[in-house]
Amino acid sequence: MNKEDIKVVAMDLDGTLTQHKQLLDAENRAALDRLAEKYKLLMVGAGQVMRIFNQLGAYPIDIIGNYGLQYGEYNENTKTIDIVRDLTFPTDKPSVEKRVTMLREKYGFTEFSGENVEFHPSGCVTFPILGTTAKSEDKLKFDPDRAKRRKIYDDVSEVFSDYTVFVGGSSSFDMAPTPYNKYYALDEYCKEHNLEHKNVVYIGDDYGLGGNDESVYRSDFPYLTIDDYRTFPQVIREIL
């Protein structure tokens, strides 16, 4: 990574800037302010643009959501986000239900609470191993190190070859329509803004097997790894 080439700092949210689903704290907000003095800032998220914007406390930043299916630009006049892209894809729900049920039976995940599958309006899909209404404490203790799901990740990816599969949260697999993932989203962003990959450095924590940052980590984009969101101010020193 050549610091002189960097024009944009792109980053993940949960685990990188905040604790999972928690608001941006004052220390990391100040760190973003320092970055913004030198670079254009960009969020690249798995969730919806407005959810990310609200979790950031309306921080003035452009946001890629849903792995590139959504894109929003910060409007300085209105102090909010203008959604400029919001793609949706049709889902063959019976096929997805059948494949998830097959995987449940194969690996013994047949006891669950709520729905078998969670379908999102974008066309993204969640395979909630414990079901859609499982208790938070049960989800958190199911697979905290992701070892259970990484063991079967290749099989799930093969069964859902028409999706990009991610090891999501603590007890699920998340899926986005192919070819959408964070690498694809960043590559499209570069094309739209006349940037080369070397001009964008990415910061993310979820870079292991099946992680939603893995596609960027294994690419030619410059990458700064982070393993604890509380160290964000230290991690960015390299580019300040």
| Each residue's pLDDT tens digit, 173-206 | 999 999 999 999 999 999 999 999 999 999 999 9
Measured on CA atoms in the order 50, 25, 125, 180, is the torsion positive or negative?
A: positive
pLDDT above 90 coverage of the chain, percent:
96
Residue 12, pLDDT score: 95
Instruction: Give me the mean pLDDT over the 83-97 stretch.
Output: 97
- Which segments of the chain does DSSP mark as H helices, in order? 26-36, 49-55, 93-107, 136-142, 147-159, 182-192, 214-217, 232-235
pLDDT band at 20 (very low <50, low <70, confident <90, very high): confident
For residue 79, pLDDT over 90 is answered with yes
* Domain boundaries, given as residue ranges, for the chain: 3-87+181-239, 93-177
Maximum pairwise Cα distance, the chain:
54
- pLDDT tens across 142-181, in order? 999 999 999 999 999 999 999 999 998 889 999 999 999 9
For residue 83, pLDDT over 90 is answered with yes
For residue 21, pLDDT over 90 is answered with no
Residue 169, pLDDT score: 84
- pLDDT tens across 5-14, in order? 999 999 999 9
Q: Residue 130: helix, strand or coil by DSSP?
A: coil
Residue 149, pLDDT score: 96
Contact 12, 206 (CB under 8 A): yes
Residue 75, pLDDT score: 97
- pLDDT tens across 99-131, in order? 999 999 999 999 999 999 999 999 999 999 999
Residue 170, pLDDT score: 87
CA 13 vs CA 69, 152, 168: distances in Å = 17, 26, 14
CA gap 186, 200 in Å, rounded: 9
For β-strands 223-225 and 40-44, DSSP reports them as unpaired
* Residue 69, token pair as written in the block: 């299916």
Domain 3-87+181-239 has CATH 3.40.30.10: no
pLDDT above 70 coverage of the chain, percent:
100
Q: How does DSSP classify residue 110?
A: -
Pick the CATH number of 93-177 from 3.30.1240.20, 3.40.50.2300, 1.25.40.10, 3.10.129.10: 3.30.1240.20
Measured on CA atoms in the order 167, 168, 172, 177, is the torsion positive or negative?
A: negative
Instruction: Give me the mean pLDDT over the 37-65 stretch.
Output: 96
